[in-house]
């Protein structure tokens, strides 16, 4: 099974800035797609004592696993990073593929695939890279659009959370000074101007608790108490859609929305916390947080357990987790239920089927943050996020709102009804000022003065009622509109050439797929046999490259989630069929069942190690000299033919792979990609 490998920080910095200069993109996201902010409006939100520049975030999941993912989310306009859940069991064996985006979105994913210490490093790296990007001025952000909040996520039980290693992770996020100092030293000389940046070290003081489906409510409460009372963190508890109860949950999913094939097992309800239990622990935890001067909140929602009725995941997986459009409706109904009980007493984080169309609605309900995952896995990847924010700006513009609070009041025309709930007398001057400001497009906060927060709260509750009803009846969430898989064209991928649509690059949450150029060429099967004192050449059909533009996968970032296979119009899966490059020789050897390549430099010598159908070859290139070795042979290649001192009669040398490896060497080691940058930075450090 593939394993994610963190990329050296110095190389990540180098890759980021070189790509920005050479290609006007960052981690394969073109600069023209980067969200720059809205200079006309204030999209900033309040979140647990912080003021992120936008309420948008990537949900804890595949988009917040590695440093480059978080940078890409930032570039898309996300400013609340819900970091992927960490837990004490950090050597997981996750079934692959683990993401199925053919229709609504299913997964069998779990928590961070990196070790706890690596996760901490990745999050600190991400924070530093973002700060360097902002400090460089190359993003041209509108003023105030650089503020970002990192929200931790831990799981899954109290015993695990209390272990030294998880506690060290949390402590490290709260004070990352040591890690920052270590990484600061790794910033290459070429970017020495960033070494003295005043990097943030207090990376996070908020945490969203993720518990297992079926975690007893007593355990959830104990963990939350630990986070609030023992650790002094702002704490949010993520709740499950099963909280709707079997009748309502199944009624919405199977009957109203028509996903009849998605069956929620009885055990999912039996084991989970029930509404009265959740209601009771929210009261107690809210009081505890208030006593301590900390924030308490809830998050809707976790994914929904359903039986594995599809053939994407291994048959051993009896259950899988549903997300996307149907979860949006379920989670919004829970928001409605929660608000009907508690009003706007506690903040609500929201993540379920968010996309550019419904993001402005979720913001109109006063949900913060509003995070997304399934939609960013679709064609365009992180490049889809800026449209969420431009749609929000458009919606704010349409109703004349300059801030998110004003937007909550004006979005659904509920401001007057909300005002009526505040108990202001008919002749109260505040009431008159509010009505006047509403009618004339005036400053609502200035008009309402100290009643503004109450007014906004009342509007959030009224907007929730409107939207829950609307989204539940909206056909865009029903099965009929979410049942078509991405189109396949019937051809099968090969090592080289494809229709070069490049869809596989942005759909990879880890930026593992990349493009490179090869000369258009025909590489014959070229076999030399030493006979009668000379090399006899025979030739057959071999590899052809009909296109200059080629695709490859960087093994270190590919966890075989399967997502690029779903969106590739051809069959076979880019991550399985395209050339795979390993960052280190050790990994090339360790993952010996995978065909692929490792390229490196040793002084003036460029080395390519290649594996084709399990056969291993090595190519050394120094100036014009080439040496090529495989099982049972080692020859110099001069003028396209093998030479060696004393070949055995009958010895066979197949140069086909020599030519492939030579083409790859010339391209991969001499253009910008994760393979070459790592080698360049290592070589410079060795100087």
DSSP 8-state assignment for residue 561: -
**Binding to ligand SF4, residues 511-540 (CB under 6 A):** 512-513
CB of residue 76 to ligand SF4, shortest distance in Å: 17
Q: Which of 237, 568, 599, 637 binds ligand SF4 (CB under 6 A)?
A: 568
CB of residue 562 to ligand SF4, shortest distance in Å: 5
For ligand SF4, the closer of residues 70 and 507 by Cβ is 507
Distance CA 661, CA 188 (A): 30
Distance CA 554, CA 513 (A): 6
CB of residue 261 to ligand SF4, shortest distance in Å: 25
3-state secondary structure of 220: helix
Cβ count near 31 (within 10 Å): 16
CB of residue 474 to ligand SF4, shortest distance in Å: 30
Is residue 381 involved in binding ligand SF4 (CB under 6 A)? Answer: no
Q: Which of 493, 608, 635, 661 binds ligand SF4 (CB under 6 A)?
A: 493
The answer to whether 96 touches 2, Cβ cutoff 8 Å, is: yes
Q: Which of 90, 113, 205, 570 binds ligand SF4 (CB under 6 A)?
A: 570
Query: Which conformational region is residue 290 in: left (phi greater than 0), alpha (psi within -120 to 50 degrees), or beta?
Result: alpha
Distance CA 58, CA 73 (A): 6
Characterize 455-485 residue by residue with b for buried, 16 or more Cβ atoms within 10 angstroms of its Cβ, and e for exposed.
bbbbbbbbbbebbbeebbebeebbbeebeee
Cβ count near 138 (within 10 Å): 17
| Contacting range for ligand SF4; rule: CB under 6 A; set: 171-179, 437-445, 565-573, 658-666 | 565-573
Around 59, how many Cα atoms within 13 Å sit in the side-chain half-sphere? 26
Is residue 472 involved in binding ligand SF4 (CB under 6 A)? Answer: no
CB of residue 4 to ligand SF4, shortest distance in Å: 8
For ligand SF4, the closer of residues 419 and 504 by Cβ is 504
Q: Which of 44, 210, 301, 553 binds ligand SF4 (CB under 6 A)?
A: 553
Q: Which of 149, 558, 608, 621 binds ligand SF4 (CB under 6 A)?
A: 558
The answer to whether 462 touches 418, Cβ cutoff 8 Å, is: yes
Distance CA 359, CA 381 (A): 16
Is residue 449 involved in binding ligand SF4 (CB under 6 A)? Answer: no
3-state secondary structure of 678: helix
Is residue 376 involved in binding ligand SF4 (CB under 6 A)? Answer: no
3-state secondary structure of 662: helix
DSSP for 398-454? HHT-SBHHHHHHHHTS-HHHHHHTTT--TT-HHHHHHHHHHHHT--HHHHHGGGHHH
Q: Which of 569, 601, 627, 644 binds ligand SF4 (CB under 6 A)?
A: 569
Torsion of CA 571, 574, 577, 580, to 10 degrees: 180
Q: Which of 371, 391, 464, 559 binds ligand SF4 (CB under 6 A)?
A: 559
Stretch 18-57: interaction string toward ligand SF4, x if CB under 6 A: ----------------------------------------
DSSP 8-state assignment for residue 377: G
| Contacting range for ligand SF4; rule: CB under 6 A; set: 28-36, 140-148, 190-198, 491-499 | 491-499
CB of residue 538 to ligand SF4, shortest distance in Å: 32
Is residue 84 involved in binding ligand SF4 (CB under 6 A)? Answer: no
Longest dimension (CA), the chain: 112
Is residue 575 involved in binding ligand SF4 (CB under 6 A)? Answer: yes
Q: Which of 45, 329, 498, 619 binds ligand SF4 (CB under 6 A)?
A: 498
CB of residue 363 to ligand SF4, shortest distance in Å: 29
| Contacting range for ligand SF4; rule: CB under 6 A; set: 266-274, 495-503, 528-536, 591-599 | 495-503
CB of residue 587 to ligand SF4, shortest distance in Å: 15
CA angle 197-202-204, nearest 5°?
Answer: 130
| Contacting range for ligand SF4; rule: CB under 6 A; set: 400-408, 564-572, 624-632, 636-644 | 564-572
For ligand SF4, the closer of residues 109 and 355 by Cβ is 109
H helix or E strand, kind and range, residue 553:
strand 549-554
Task: Spell out the residues 6+ positions from residue 604 whose beta carbon is closer than 8 angstroms to its own.
Answer: 622, 623
Q: Which of 561, 619, 637, 655 binds ligand SF4 (CB under 6 A)?
A: 561
Torsion of CA 138, 140, 144, 149, to 10 degrees: -50
Is residue 379 involved in binding ligand SF4 (CB under 6 A)? Answer: no
Distances (CA, A) of 336 to 325, 365, 454, 466, 467: 17, 10, 18, 9, 9
The terminus-to-terminus CA distance of the chain in angstroms comes to 36
Is residue 14 involved in binding ligand SF4 (CB under 6 A)? Answer: no
| Contacting range for ligand SF4; rule: CB under 6 A; set: 389-397, 496-504, 540-548, 599-607 | 496-504
Is residue 351 involved in binding ligand SF4 (CB under 6 A)? Answer: no
Q: Which of 502, 521, 587, 616 binds ligand SF4 (CB under 6 A)?
A: 502
Size of residue set near ligand SF4 by CB under 6 A: 27
CB of residue 525 to ligand SF4, shortest distance in Å: 24
Cβ count near 338 (within 10 Å): 22
Is residue 1 involved in binding ligand SF4 (CB under 6 A)? Answer: no
Is residue 551 involved in binding ligand SF4 (CB under 6 A)? Answer: yes
Helix and strand numbers (H, E) in the chain are 23, 26
For ligand SF4, the closer of residues 110 and 528 by Cβ is 110
Q: Which residues bind ligand SF4 (CB under 6 A)?
A: 493, 498-504, 507-508, 510, 512-513, 551, 553, 558-564, 568-570, 574-575
């Amino acid at each position: 099974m593939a394993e994610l490998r963190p990329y050296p920080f110095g190389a990540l910095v180098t890759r980021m800035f070189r790509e920005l200069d050479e290609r006007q993109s960052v981690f394969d996201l073109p600069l023209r797609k980067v969200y720059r902010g809205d200079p006309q409006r204030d999209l900033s939100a309040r979140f647990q004592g912080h003021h992120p520049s936008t309420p948008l975030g990537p949900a804890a999941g595949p988009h917040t696993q590695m440093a480059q993912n978080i940078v890409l989310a930032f570039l898309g306009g996300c400013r609340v990073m819900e970091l992927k859940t960490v837990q004490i069991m950090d050597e997981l064996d996750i079934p692959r593929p683990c993401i199925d985006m053919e229709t609504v979105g299913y997964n069998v994913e779990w928590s961070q695939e990196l070790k706890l210490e690596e996760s901490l490093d990745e999050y600190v790296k991400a924070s530093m890279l973002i700060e360097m990007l902002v400090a460089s001025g190359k993003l041209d952000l509108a003023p105030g659009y650089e503020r970002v909040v990192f929200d931790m996520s831990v799981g899954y039980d109290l015993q695990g959370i209390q272990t030294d290693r998880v506690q060290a992770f949390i402590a490290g996020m709260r004070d990352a000074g040591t890690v920052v100092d270590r990484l600061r030293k790794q910033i290459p000389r070429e970017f020495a101007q960033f070494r003295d940046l005043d990097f943030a070290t207090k990376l996070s003081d908020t945490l969203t608790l993720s518990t297992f489906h079926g975690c007893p409510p007593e355990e959830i409460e104990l963990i939350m108490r630990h986070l609030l009372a023992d650790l002094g963190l702002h704490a949010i508890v993520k709740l499950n859609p099963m909280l709707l109860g079997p009748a309502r949950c199944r009624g919405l999913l199977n009957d109203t929305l028509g996903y009849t094939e998605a069956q929620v097992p009885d055990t999912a309800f039996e084991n989970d916390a029930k509404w009265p239990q959740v209601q009771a622990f929210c009261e107690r935890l809210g009081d505890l947080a208030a006593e301590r001067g900390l924030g308490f909140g809830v998050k809707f929602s976790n994914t929904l357990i359903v039986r594995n009725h599809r053939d994407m995941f291994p048959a051993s997986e009896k259950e899988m987790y549903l997300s996307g459009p149907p979860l949006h409706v379920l989670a919004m109904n829970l928001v409605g239920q929660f608000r009907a009980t508690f009003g706007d007493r506690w903040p609500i984080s929201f993540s379920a089927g968010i996309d550019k169309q419904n993001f402005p609605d979720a913001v109109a309900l006063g949900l913060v943050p509003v995070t997304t995952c399934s939609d960013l896995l679709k064609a365009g990847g992180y490049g889809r996020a800026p449209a969420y924010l431009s749609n929000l700006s458009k919606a704010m513009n349409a109703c004349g709102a300059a801030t998110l609070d004003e937007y909550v009041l004006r979005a659904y025309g509920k401001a007057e009804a909300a005002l009526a709930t505040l108990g202001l007398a008919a002749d109260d001057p505040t009431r008159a000022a509010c009505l006047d400001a509403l009618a004339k497009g005036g400053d609502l906060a200035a008009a309402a003065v100290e009643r503004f927060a109450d007014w906004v709260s009342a509007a959030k509750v009224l907007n929730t009622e409107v939207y829950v009803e609307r989204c539940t009846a909206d056909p865009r969430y029903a099965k009929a509109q979410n049942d078509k898989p991405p189109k396949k064209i019937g051809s099968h991928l090969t090592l080289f050439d494809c229709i070069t649509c490049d869809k596989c690059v942005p759909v990879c949450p880890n930026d593992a797929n990349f493009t490179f150029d090869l000369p258009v060429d025909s590489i014959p099967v070229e076999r030399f046999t030493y006979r009668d004192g000379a090399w006899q050449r025979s030739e057959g059909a071999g590899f052809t490259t009909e296109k200059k533009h080629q695709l490859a996968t960087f093994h270190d970032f590919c966890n075989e989630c399967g997502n690029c296979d779903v969106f590739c119009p051809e069959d076979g899966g880019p991550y399985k069929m395209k050339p795979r490059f390993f960052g280190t020789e050790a990994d090339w050897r360790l993952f010996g069942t995978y065909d692929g390549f490792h390229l490196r430099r040793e002084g003036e010598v460029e080395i390519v190690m290649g594996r084709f159908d399990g056969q291993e070859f090595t190519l050394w290139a120094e100036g014009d000299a080439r040496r090529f070795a495989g099982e049972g042979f080692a020859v110099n290649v001069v003028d396209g033919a093998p030479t060696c001192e004393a070949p055995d009669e009958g010895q066979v040398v197949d140069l086909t792979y020599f030519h492939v490896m030579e083409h790859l060497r010339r391209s991969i080691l001499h253009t910008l990609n994760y393979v070459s940058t790592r080698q360049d930075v290592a070589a410079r450090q060795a100087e």
